[in-house]
Amino acid sequence: STAALAPQICVVGSGPAGFYTAQHLLKHHRLAQVDIYEKLPVPFGLVRFGVAPDHPEVKNVINTFTQTAHSDRCSYYGNVTIGKDVTVKELQRAYHAVVLSYGAEDNRILGIPGENLSGVYSARAFVGWYNGLPENRDLKPDLSSETAVVMGQGNVALDVARVLLSPLDILRKTDITEGSLAAIACSKVKRVWLVGRRGPLQVAFTIKELREMINLPGTRPLLDPADFTGLGDVIKDVPRPRKRLTELMVKSALEKPGEREASRWASATKEWGLKFRCSPLEVLPAADGKQARGIRMAVTRLEGSGESARAVPTGEVEELECGLILSSIGYRSLPLDSSIPFDSKLGIIPNSLGRVQGAPGLYCSGWVKRGPTGVIITTMNDSFDTAQSVLEDLQSGLLKLSNSKEGFKSVRSILHSRGVHPVTFSDWEKIDAAEVARGKLAGKPREKLVDPREMLQLIGH
């Protein structure tokens, strides 16, 4: 009978979405086999390659993911790029259900002249660089200018500013790569502006990250009192998190600092500030025509209020001198192959509760399902929802269980015929142990391997 057949399910991507989807499926179906495919040799997506090195507590979710990977009914296959090494169609032939949770591999661009000048980087590449993402390991960002501008006012923008301004003693104890630590040690950057098109009531960062910035040793905030005067009345009616966040900005900008803070600010050698109502127009080239020397911005005013307020140019223009510009205006998902529905305007796979529209047996979770916003907990909840949809479809008979789906057995022969060697979870554990051992020598939690060839060599591939 089909009742005893184990559903073969696979998940594409080993970030939080992939792991939380797998966890929920394994927990609530006692026979399901879940295979996780990952294009990099190493797992965990943005938990490893996005989350800031000085936020080790956020990375504790890796313990839960590791438990999931240790289940008898879960397998991890790294070093396999879906869409290139194996197609989604091939996965669908091998599995009863395929869950796409491959995240957001690209970033939104500013779309202004000069964006390609040297000294201009996406925050995504910069974050990838300091976190050891193989594709960004050779970024070599130019840190020779005193002023950096981050376009964007979200948590990623604050991460980037914090890493640029943190005392080396703090960074040295994190899992930041040795190459980027060495570069930051020689950095001339001492001022970071975080620029937003709208006002203080529209910033996208959260209070914990702001507080961290305000308390960052060796730095002082540059907040223009004029930006914050009179906000007290407006925020009475806004939701509590926004209210508390705004109150903290208002306090820092308008109130006299306490004695300790005042002396810390007075002796600070670095500074960071928030610049509002400025929309980028052009990156200005230096005399050599190659290097960025500043950014020209349109001064804006707000039309409407609250979250939906729009920035409209006033006609005034402002220029800011800076040799380092990081655009932090959002990540972006890409379609995996043309056979899968994709909404390129929203940058997501169109779905209802994780069921990909018009594609039975195909599901999605995480950033590629919702868009690239939200913390790990948000991603966890939406991944549980998707897993629930799969379970319901199994129960209702919408997903027909048959012997003909062999799961990894058939994918293995496809990979073999194409010369692709998957990395297993125990392979990863060898890489992990090597990284931790290397880190120990330097007094860090780990020293990441940044070259996939070195990773593969270590496990004898």
By CB under 6 A, name the binding residues for ligand FAD. Answer: 12-18, 37-40, 45-46, 50-51, 55, 58, 81-83, 101-103, 105, 127, 156, 159, 331, 336, 366-367, 374-376, 379
Residue type, 17: A
User: How many angstroms separate the CA atoms of 41 and 454, rounded?
Assistant: 11
Question: Quick one: CA torsion of 129, 133, 138, 143, rounded to 10 degrees?
Answer: 0
Query: Mapping DSSP to helix (H, G, I), strand (E, B) and coil, where does residue 374 land?
Result: coil
Secondary structure tally for the chain: helices H, strands E? 18, 18
Scan for tokens 């996939």, then name that residue: 452
- Least gap, CB of 232 to ligand FAD (angstroms): 30
Q: Which is nearer to ligand FAD, 114 or 452 (CB)?
A: 452
Q: Which is nearer to ligand FAD, 59 or 243 (CB)?
A: 59
- Least gap, CB of 375 to ligand FAD (angstroms): 3
- Least gap, CB of 132 to ligand FAD (angstroms): 13
* Contact of 362 with 88, CB cutoff 8 Å: yes
- Least gap, CB of 428 to ligand FAD (angstroms): 12
| Backbone dihedral angles phi then psi of residue 350, each to the nearest 5 degrees | -65, 130
Neighbours of 114 (CB within 10 A): 20
* Contact of 58 with 376, CB cutoff 8 Å: yes
User: How many angstroms separate the CA atoms of 35 and 45, rounded?
Assistant: 16
**Beta pairing, strands 8-12 & 97-100:** parallel
- Least gap, CB of 244 to ligand FAD (angstroms): 18
User: How many angstroms separate the CA atoms of 81 and 433, rounded?
Assistant: 24
Q: Which is nearer to ligand FAD, 367 or 408 (CB)?
A: 367
User: Closest residue to ligand FAD, Cβ-based?
Assistant: 15
Scan for tokens 């549980």, then name that residue: 384
* Contact of 286 with 260, CB cutoff 8 Å: no
| Backbone dihedral angles phi then psi of residue 40, each to the nearest 5 degrees | -85, 160
Q: Which is nearer to ligand FAD, 148 or 223 (CB)?
A: 148
- Least gap, CB of 312 to ligand FAD (angstroms): 29
- Least gap, CB of 195 to ligand FAD (angstroms): 18
- Least gap, CB of 376 to ligand FAD (angstroms): 4
User: How many angstroms separate the CA atoms of 282 and 161, rounded?
Assistant: 21
Q: What is the largest CA-CA distance in the chain?
A: 76
CA-closest candidate to residue 189, choices 275, 271, 106: 271
Q: Which is nearer to ligand FAD, 193 or 205 (CB)?
A: 205
- Least gap, CB of 63 to ligand FAD (angstroms): 15
User: DSSP secondary structure string, 118-145?
Assistant: BTEEEHHHHHHHHTT-GGGTT------S
From residue 66, how far is each of 39, 50, 396, 405, 408 by CA, in Å?
18, 18, 31, 27, 20
Q: Which is nearer to ligand FAD, 39 or 438 (CB)?
A: 39
Q: Which is nearer to ligand FAD, 192 or 336 (CB)?
A: 336
Q: Which is nearer to ligand FAD, 150 or 250 (CB)?
A: 150
Residue type, 154: G
**Beta pairing, strands 310-321 & 292-303:** antiparallel
From residue 139, how far is each of 103, 322, 332, 334, 412 by CA, in Å?
22, 19, 20, 22, 35
* Contact of 104 with 333, CB cutoff 8 Å: yes
- Least gap, CB of 373 to ligand FAD (angstroms): 8
Q: Which is nearer to ligand FAD, 55 or 173 (CB)?
A: 55
Q: Which is nearer to ligand FAD, 125 or 299 (CB)?
A: 125
Q: Which is nearer to ligand FAD, 38 or 447 (CB)?
A: 38
- Least gap, CB of 161 to ligand FAD (angstroms): 12
Q: Which is nearer to ligand FAD, 8 or 14 (CB)?
A: 14
* Contact of 179 with 138, CB cutoff 8 Å: no
- Least gap, CB of 405 to ligand FAD (angstroms): 20
